Amino acid sequence: MRNLAAAIVAFLASSIFNTVPTCRLIIDRTTRILPSSPRSTGSKARTRAVDRLRRTTHERVVAENEELGGCSICLEEFSARIELLRFGCKHLYHQNCIAKWLENQNSCPLCRRPL
């Protein structure tokens, strides 16, 4: 599973396919074929899962000298004054993006680490 994720990241990072529409299409199709977490949850549990994630801001992450990229769900860069949610694995997401993801999954979208 990790080899597949690494291959996908390498493929997406290549300059030939580094366009937002292409990346979104690849991520959407790949997400559909990857096995779901055995602990998938519904909307009721989603709220509890989102509440357990650490809230942070763009400014706080930059102040901690951590690498700051963008949301791997919507593929947009993080901007100032936007609240972000951080998984235990340190991956960051926009609150709305990860809430939608957690409607069907109970794991990190990048590394599949369970909540």
Domain boundaries, the chain: 1-34, 38-115
Question: Is the pLDDT score of 31 beyond 50?
Answer: yes
pTM equals: 0.52
The pLDDT tens digits for 13-28 are 665 555 666 667 667 7
The pLDDT tens digits for 65-99 are 666 778 889 999 888 778 888 888 888 888 888 88
Q: Strands of 1-115 (E only): list them.
A: 54-57, 83-86, 92-94
* The CATH number of domain 38-115, selected from 3.40.50.2300, 3.30.40.10, 3.30.470.20, 3.30.450.40: 3.30.40.10
pLDDT band at 60 (very low <50, low <70, confident <90, very high): low
Asked whether 34 and 27 are in contact (CB, 8 A), the reply is no
Asked whether 94 and 82 are in contact (CB, 8 A), the reply is yes
pLDDT band at 41 (very low <50, low <70, confident <90, very high): very low
